Structure 1
Amino acid sequence: MFASLARALFGTANDRSLKAFQRRVPEINTLEAGIAPLDDAALAHKTVEFRERLAQGETLDGLLPEAFAVCREASKRVLGMRHFDVQLIGGMVLHSGKIAEMRTGEGKTLVATLAVYLNALSGKGVHVVTVNDYLARRDAEEMSRLYSFLGLTTGTIVPNLPDEARREAYACDITYGTNNEFGFDYLRDNMKYRLEEMVQRPFNHAIVDEVDSILIDEARTPLIISGPAEDSSELYRAVDAVIAEMVRDPATFDKDEKLRTAILTEAGSDRVEELLRNADVLNDGGLYDVQNVAVVHHVLQSLRAHTLFSRDVDYIVRDGKVTIIDEFTGRMMDGRRYSDGLHQALEAKEHVEVQQENQTLASITFQNYFRLYPKLSGMTGTAMTEADEFAEIYKLDVVEIPTNLPVARKDTDDEIYLDERQKFAAVVKLVEEIHKGGQPILVGTTSVEKSEALSALLKQDNIPHHVLNARFHEMEAAIVAQAGAPGAITIATNMAGRGTDIKLGGNVEMRIQQELAHITDPAELAAAEQAIRDEVSKNQAIVKAAGGLYVIGTERHESRRIDNQLRGRAGRQGDPGNSRFFVSLQDDLMRIFGSDRMTGMLQKMGMQDGEAIVHPWLNKALERAQKKVEARNFDMRKNTLKYDDVMNDQRKEVYAQRREFMMQDDVASLIVETREELILSLVDRYIPEKAFAEQWRTAELTDDVKRIFNLDLPIADWATEDGMDREQVAARIEDAAAQAQAVRTTNFGPDIMRYLEKQILLTTFDSVWKEHLHALDQLRQGIGLRAYGQKDPLNEYKHEAFQLFTFMLDEMRERVITLLARVEMAPPPEPHPLEGIGEFHPDPHVEGYASEPAQYVGAPAAVTAEPPSGGAILPDDPSTWGETPRNSLCPCGSGLKYKHCHGRHV
């Protein structure tokens, strides 16, 4: 009551934010009169003027009114679109590092140009992040016309782009790309061996389109770059055959759909063990014996594949591959793979080729990637429902921007039915009624399976329609573009119009692109274009008179945002429209998360077949159920992030240290320091302070010195000398190691030795970091069990992760010195040391999906020059180089390959 009174008196926080931004709108509008008369050259020169003023100490905030006015005028001339006042507010929200919530059809892509232009003036680069490659290409292509007119450069990052092209795109003032590509480039850069090979610049400002999808839905699991692991495809097939037989008996397993878990019962364990023995998979010990841990893992993943994942709902099988369907957008996630062996279990279940497993080489979550940007902002049609999460995780405030025109859409209360059959019958009946009036209809479903089931019902009644789901992904833009034509019926799976507006009467540009591509004569093309424009204009009037787009939701999603996205397709820019959702007690949300009391109450009321319950109270009950699910998902993401933050601190330290190594031309002093530290730690271990010489463990110290430094020293004899102490022993070992290193440096030549030291340091760092990531994965999987011992798993994880990190650094020091003590000239390694690396983005609701292993080439070739027999290579004397392979580094020490240096004319 008091909160409502306070809001009435002082306004909401959103109202106060809007007022602050609205005060600057009149100032921008006043400038329009002075900027409009400028010719194109003078308008474009404003960019140069702004940059000069920034260099003289002015701020971006101070330039905002003029920059926005210039961008608006340029948009009028180049794009034929003038920013509305509410779009100016949206641009200010983005510039201020907040999230702008703008309804569908309010022109978010155009809004972004204001903040992008202003922030690109600094020359530090602005990244515009989109949800898919199509939108990245489309937006970059359309908006680059505006930016180039104003003298700014635009680049696009898409998959399979070579490093040189990526570097050029990142060097542009504005760079468009997907969240995955930006994240993978960051990880790939931190696997490079030279600074000049890195493609990204220091981060400045990122503007994230569909920010809720990227920072919430896709951020539950990390991006992963992985390499090939041991092949176990035969084991997956064998285990799959066993599980397929076992799951016929429901008593053998228990599943929890709410938590998406499946476990074996006692009877199930006995049955599986019996079947595995019969299949010769289990030959040694029982199922849960230590030697059969891998088999248990395969069994549990296969059980999940058979009991929790459904074909045409969670994935489809296409071209002999299991392809994941994104639960939030309904799109196929081409190349993405579930992690931890689950995807292999699904491949075995569907009897397609089981691909090789992978091990992690580098990973980062979207939360930690996007928090690297000094300024982050975003835009979407639905963010207010997740405002708490944006504030807590990303420190981002959400500002709801008012629509340019009042919303005229009529939202009807949900209709609730006892079962799915009755619900779909009611949907078909409503579709038939509306279709007769010529009103276009968009029907949203939650899975491929349900979209096809509804399509079959419409076909029975001879109702023409289009189906848009993961099977017809390629036709998405074309189908959605015409979903607003008179009488059009479109069934869409959770992705109604994402990135493509549904315009009443049809989409003129899309029709011209599709229907007139074959016409080359300019006069004929102009006439055909005008005919289409006239037809669409006529259809628009028909559709508006009929009531606009009618949106029908066939099920409530776990997330209110997904429902709001579907509903938001209707009523854009003040257009008329309607929306209604149909729910049954058999729907997943009601069945898994709904109240049993509500189900019992409705059944006691004696509902007749085909009868629906409609009441605002039921809408509120559904909303409460969705809020509970959203809160639970938020807690899960927050908990995951707490663990990832531990690794993120270590990752930042490792990447910073690695970059420091690459920036140094000569790491010899660091190698000497590392060697001295290692020797002191060995002496401390085997010669305790104040111990008598008889207590020294000289044999063990001798063995370790031989193993690490490749030196056979008489340490036991030193112990018998009068006055010998531990400091002298350490000094003698250091002298011997330094002399041996000096000899190697003479043989190799100082330039090649310096190069070798740097490369061994970097490659060893990468190797121990990869092993450390694997150790953290293993630790994370079992740490939850510490709760049974009354210990906080997170604190235990932090403590042990720190110990593992310390061990990793000790291991790195020892390996670097050991390698340098044994390094020799060698032929080039085959195959390439980084061959087979792939990129993964795990699937949100099951630990992950990932992209197809992409070949990555970035490691430098080893020094492979072959000296003449018995002689050392001298950088200044080509006669000592012998036969140098063309792809090896040039022995002169330039750092270039031989074929690009002294060998280019050979």
Structure 2
Amino acid sequence: MIDRFLTKLFGTPNQRYLKSIRPLIERINALEPEMQQLSDEEMRARTIQFKERVANAVAEARDAEERKRREQAILNELLPEAFALVREASVRTTGMRHFDVQLIGGIVLHEGKIAEMKTGEGKTLVATLPAYLNALTGRGVHIVTVNDYLASRDAEWMGKIYKHLGLTVGCIQNDMDDWERKDAYAADITYGTNNEFGFDYLRDNMKFDLATCVQRGHYYAIVDEVDSILIDEARTPLIISGPSEEATDKYYKADAIIPHLKRGEKLEDGRTTGDYIVDEKQHTVVLTEEGIAKAERLLGVGNLYDPSNMEMLHCVEQALRAHTLYKRDHHYVVQDGQVIIVDEFTGRLMHGRRWSDGLHQAVEAKEGVKIERENQTLATITLQNYFRLYEKLAGMTGTAETEAAEFQSTYNLDVIVIPTHKPMIRVDHPDVIYRTLPEKWDAVIEEIKDCYERGQPVLVGTVSVENSELLSRRLQRLGIPHNVLNAKPENAAREAEIVAQAGRKGAVTIATNMAGRGTDILLGGNPEFLAREFLKRDEINPDEATPEQWEAALKRAKEIVEKEHEEVVKLGGLHIVGTERHESRRIDNQLRGRAGRQGDPGSSRFFLSLEDDLMRIFAGDRVRAIMQKLGMEKGVAIESKMVSKRIEAAQKSVEARNFEIRKHLLQYDDVMNKQRETIYGLRRQLMAEPDHREYILGIARDLLSDLTKQYLDPDVSPDEWDIADYKAQLKSIYGFDADAEGIDFERMNSREIEEAIWQKLEAKYAEKEAQVGPEAMRTYERIIMLNIIDAQWKDHLLAIDHLKQGIGLVGYGQKDPLVEYKKESFALFEAMLDRIDMNTVRALFNLQVVSEQAPEALQRRRMSRPTRMTFTGPNQGAAAAGEEAAVKTVRRDHPKVGRNDPCPCGSGKKYKKCCGA
């Protein structure tokens, strides 16, 4: 009650914030006449002046913290002038002038917050304001979009503004090589997708030379469709992987028994029926006792829970999940003999993405396509931890308020709701609920038919490819022309065109989830897209049309669009039909948000049935009871606020569960993140600093001390020393023969032995360096260490994966799995660091020169692969790290020549006196 009173008195925090920045908007507007007087050259000169002011402000900063403080202070001071300058540049280059609400959005983004702006309010243009201002630092601004098309479109479209002001613009695309990427990142402002930015970060930390790294730091990022990227996609980490050696036939064996197992259910008394129980709410499936016995019989194994059969048990469980929880044309599609995941939030195909932990292989076995080998993780990071690398992060979307708590707790980002430029007049009708799916689909068809006959454009949202095609077939039977936009490639290719013309008179568009389509639906149609269509009909390539041909086509298109616009407005604007409630309220709001843009009229209605997944799994029993009280009959819909509230409560519970999944993932990845930062920091240090001789000799000396203490303990009698094993370790690790080198173990104490050995080892290393040359030796040291770090890190990631899978079992012993995971993973990490040190010393001290050719080309190559050396001793080739290994072991293709054998060159001399000298 007190909160409500204070809100009435002072306004909401959002209202108070908007009121506080009003004077700033007035200052920007007051500068507009001054900016209009500037010539194009004078505008570019302003950019140079701004950059100098920023550089001068931070020049005398004593440390990074003071630099940040000074940098932000000068940017805040420049904001009114910079925003006014960008607004004028936009008018001159694109014909668009930033509205006051867009200036507010720009200030929100500059301050590192999330701007919630309704669809059609011009978020793409808003980003130009803070992007320009923060690019003045010269540290690079990243603008993150949801797909390559939007990244290239926005970079080209908004790039006109930046270039007019003297800034450079880059765009990251999937098919670029490293040098093109490096150029794009070197630009003042860089557009790209979240996946490209994240994977480039991981790839940079697998490189062998700083010159080949493409990114140059993480200063400021603006994330478009921030809820889609930082919330929806954050459940799946980014992973770079390589194929493992495990066989795939086990997935076919597991898949073959699934049709013989019967689905059961859990009874009220706790007993179970059938062979397995599916819990759709928790998205899990478990075998019953009967199911385990039947699976063992069908597979011909004694005990599935025997350690030797655990892999097969895992395959059976994943096969069950594939058959019961993953539906074709909903969760994935099959194309060209491949299983391709469909993004459940955007409806797009996710090429190159694979489910982990054998699930993808299980789905491939289910669909009868070729099973690709399981992958082993080489590098991984969650999107949360990637975006937390940025000093300053901001985002924009049409739907963020429902996830404000998660944005605050995970990213420390506040959500500010920006008012619309024109009042919102869309009519959102209450949901209508039917008993069964057929009744619902009949009602949806009637609604579409009614709109089509009246000429009102209608956009129909579905949650799966399957449902969109079901509707399409029924509309075809009725002779109603329509467009379908879903994950099928023949539809996705025309995405922007289909969305752009969804507002034409009589248009019927069926689309899977509409998140981040990036193209506004204009009432009456989009004249530019229509002009391109006219040119194509006249067999003219729109991209090659002459200015006269383009102007003629555009004039013709505008006449049609203007006429249709007036007619569509009279009919009530775009009508949205939702065919099912999504798990997330935001996705429903995104669909609704397609209508009513910029003050246009519009309407929306959702059609539901008690058999919809969300209703059935999360709200079924209670809603069914309410329906019976309301006297529901066949074919009759019910509109009830009580039912709508129950559905919203179900959505909130699903959102809360998904938040817990993301939170859980992040808690575990935070542990890995510290380790990842340590390893990546060590790699970067190795690449940045040219000389690591003292560091390597330091770890070699420390390792010798540890060995001496272990085998020649000074606190025990020399009679109890383990001299034989000590010598074996010296031979294995250092390639050092203590007997041949005359070390007297009988007359010296352990400290004297260690000192004598170290002097000889140091001399041996210096001799090796003299043979190779100091510069080449530094190169070998760096490359060998990088290879060993990569090989050990890869093995560590695999060990961590196994630890994560089994750590939940400690809960049965009344222990916190997360605490135990932290302890175990830290122990594994320390052991890995020890192995890195030992393998580095072993590799470098066993290094043998086999050629005197100087390695000048070594530094010039992207992935240096010196072939001038080999390894001797028990661990030959210890530094090799798979196909990316920089150190290549030399293989003999002829028998080894002994030092006293005749030289194979035919000179008649002994080998040691001739070519072996």
Q: One fold, TM greater than 0.5?
A: yes
> Aligned in 2, Cα 1:592/1:635: closer, same or farther, shift over 3 Å?
same
Q: Which residue of 2 aligns with 1:883?
A: none
The secondary structure found in structure 2 opposite 1:691 is coil
- The Cα of 1:100 is off from its aligned counterpart by 0.3
Q: Which of 729, 734, 746 is the aligned partner of 1:721?
A: 746
| 1:738-775 CA-partner distances (Å, limit 9, x unpaired) | 23323322332332222211111111111111111111
Q: Which of 671, 676, 682 is the aligned partner of 1:657?
A: 682
Q: Which residue of 1 aligns with 2:54?
A: 54
Is 1:526 matched with 2:541? no
Is 1:565 matched with 2:590? yes
Q: Which of 403, 410, 421 is the aligned partner of 2:438?
A: 421
- The Cα of 1:138 is off from its aligned counterpart by 0.6
Q: Which residue of 2 aligns with 1:874?
A: none
- The Cα of 1:60 is off from its aligned counterpart by 0.6
Kept in 2: contact 1:192–1:859 (CA 8 A): no
Is 1:548 matched with 2:548? no
The secondary structure found in structure 1 opposite 2:595 is coil
Q: Which of 768, 773, 794 is the aligned partner of 1:744?
A: 768
Q: Which residue of 2 aligns with 1:74?
A: 89
Q: Which of 219, 222, 225 is the aligned partner of 2:240?
A: 225
> Aligned in 2, Cα 1:720/1:116: closer, same or farther, shift over 3 Å?
closer
Kept in 1: contact 2:534–2:553 (CA 8 A): no
Kept in 2: contact 1:193–1:859 (CA 8 A): no
Distance in 2, matches of 1:299 and 1:234, equals 12
| 1:621-642 CA-partner distances (Å, limit 9, x unpaired) | 2211111111111111111101
The equivalences for 1:156-171 within 5 A come to: 156-171=171-186
Is 1:775 matched with 2:799? yes
Q: Which residue of 1 aligns with 2:337?
A: 320
Distance in 2, matches of 1:668 and 1:141, equals 48
The secondary structure found in structure 1 opposite 2:285 is strand
- The Cα of 1:602 is off from its aligned counterpart by 1.4
The secondary structure found in structure 2 opposite 1:191 is coil
Kept in 1: contact 2:745–2:753 (CA 8 A): no
Q: Which of 616, 633, 652 is the aligned partner of 1:591?
A: 616
Name the amino acid aligned to 1:678: L
Kept in 2: contact 1:192–1:858 (CA 8 A): no
- The Cα of 1:833 is off from its aligned counterpart by 9.6
Kept in 2: contact 1:129–1:209 (CA 8 A): yes
Is 1:512 matched with 2:536? no
Q: Which of 832, 837, 844 is the aligned partner of 1:820?
A: 844
The secondary structure found in structure 2 opposite 1:753 is helix
Q: Which residue of 2 aligns with 1:440?
A: 457
Is 1:761 matched with 2:785? yes
Q: Which of 462, 466, 483 is the aligned partner of 2:483?
A: 466
- The Cα of 1:143 is off from its aligned counterpart by 1.0
Kept in 1: contact 2:225–2:516 (CA 8 A): no
Distance in 2, matches of 1:254 and 1:689, equals 63
Distance in 2, matches of 1:497 and 1:489, equals 20
Kept in 2: contact 1:496–1:569 (CA 8 A): no
Q: Which residue of 1 aligns with 2:18?
A: 18
Distance in 2, matches of 1:63 and 1:123, equals 15
Distance in 1, matches of 2:885 and 2:492, equals 37
Kept in 1: contact 2:263–2:277 (CA 8 A): no
Distance in 2, matches of 1:164 and 1:863, equals 29
The equivalences for 1:304-703 within 5 A come to: 304-471=321-488, 472-495=491-514, 498-516=517-535, 518=540, 520-594=545-619, 596-703=621-728
Kept in 1: contact 2:595–2:601 (CA 8 A): yes
| 1:305-363 CA-partner distances (Å, limit 9, x unpaired) | 11111111111111111111111111111221111111111111111111122101110
Q: Which residue of 2 aligns with 1:901?
A: none
Distance in 2, matches of 1:865 and 1:783, equals 43
Kept in 2: contact 1:223–1:366 (CA 8 A): yes
The equivalences for 1:849-860 within 5 A come to: 860=886
Distance in 1, matches of 2:290 and 2:822, equals 38
The secondary structure found in structure 2 opposite 1:243 is helix
Number of residue pairs the alignment of both structures matches: 839
Worse-matched range after superposition: 647-656 or 332-341: 332-341
Q: Which residue of 2 aligns with 1:274?
A: 297
Q: Which of 149, 158, 170 is the aligned partner of 1:143?
A: 158
Name the amino acid aligned to 2:521: I
Q: Which residue of 2 aligns with 1:214?
A: 229
Percent identical: 52
Q: Which residue of 2 aligns with 1:810?
A: 834
Q: Which residue of 2 aligns with 1:842?
A: none
| 1:819-846 CA-partner distances (Å, limit 9, x unpaired) | 1122234699xxx9999xxxxxxxxxxx
Which has the higher relative contact order, 1 or 2, with Cα contacts under 8 A spaced 6 or more apart? 1
Name the amino acid aligned to 2:220: H
Task: In structure 2, list runs of 5 or more residues that go unmatched.
Answer: 58-72, 265-272, 856-861, 866-881, 898-917
Kept in 1: contact 2:524–2:568 (CA 8 A): yes
Q: Which residue of 1 aligns with 2:200?
A: 185
| 1:444-503 CA-partner distances (Å, limit 9, x unpaired) | 111111111122222333222211111121121111111000011111111267211111
Worse-matched range after superposition: 411-420 or 210-219: 411-420
The secondary structure found in structure 1 opposite 2:222 is strand
Distance in 2, matches of 1:397 and 1:694, equals 70
Is 1:257 matched with 2:280? yes
Worse-matched range after superposition: 248-257 or 146-155: 248-257
> Aligned in 2, Cα 1:497/1:643: closer, same or farther, shift over 3 Å?
closer
Distance in 1, matches of 2:741 and 2:769, equals 29
Q: Which residue of 1 aligns with 2:98?
A: 83
Q: Which residue of 1 aligns with 2:907?
A: none
Q: Which residue of 2 aligns with 1:244?
A: 259
| 1:628-669 CA-partner distances (Å, limit 9, x unpaired) | 111111111111101100000111111111111111212111
The secondary structure found in structure 2 opposite 1:56 is helix
> Aligned in 2, Cα 1:663/1:196: closer, same or farther, shift over 3 Å?
same
Name the amino acid aligned to 1:203: H
> Aligned in 2, Cα 1:605/1:523: closer, same or farther, shift over 3 Å?
closer
> Aligned in 2, Cα 1:716/1:45: closer, same or farther, shift over 3 Å?
closer
> Aligned in 2, Cα 1:72/1:864: closer, same or farther, shift over 3 Å?
farther
Name the amino acid aligned to 2:39: D
Q: Which residue of 1 aligns with 2:902?
A: none
Q: Which residue of 2 aligns with 1:890?
A: none
Distance in 2, matches of 1:833 and 1:49, equals 41
- The Cα of 1:127 is off from its aligned counterpart by 0.2
The secondary structure found in structure 2 opposite 1:579 is strand
Kept in 2: contact 1:825–1:863 (CA 8 A): no
- The Cα of 1:859 is off from its aligned counterpart by 6.0
Q: Which residue of 2 aligns with 1:198?
A: 213
Q: Which of 296, 315, 322 is the aligned partner of 1:298?
A: 315
Distance in 1, matches of 2:823 and 2:565, equals 65
The secondary structure found in structure 1 opposite 2:143 is strand
> Aligned in 2, Cα 1:771/1:865: closer, same or farther, shift over 3 Å?
closer
Kept in 1: contact 2:433–2:608 (CA 8 A): yes
Distance in 2, matches of 1:345 and 1:494, equals 26
> Aligned in 2, Cα 1:429/1:834: closer, same or farther, shift over 3 Å?
farther
Task: In structure 1, list runs of 5 or more residues that go unmatched.
Answer: 836-855, 871-906
Distance in 1, matches of 2:839 and 2:654, equals 49
Name the amino acid aligned to 2:492: H
Distance in 2, matches of 1:587 and 1:865, equals 64
| 1:843-881 CA-partner distances (Å, limit 9, x unpaired) | xxxxxxxxxxxxx99765659899xx99xxxxxxxxxxx
- The Cα of 1:705 is off from its aligned counterpart by 1.6
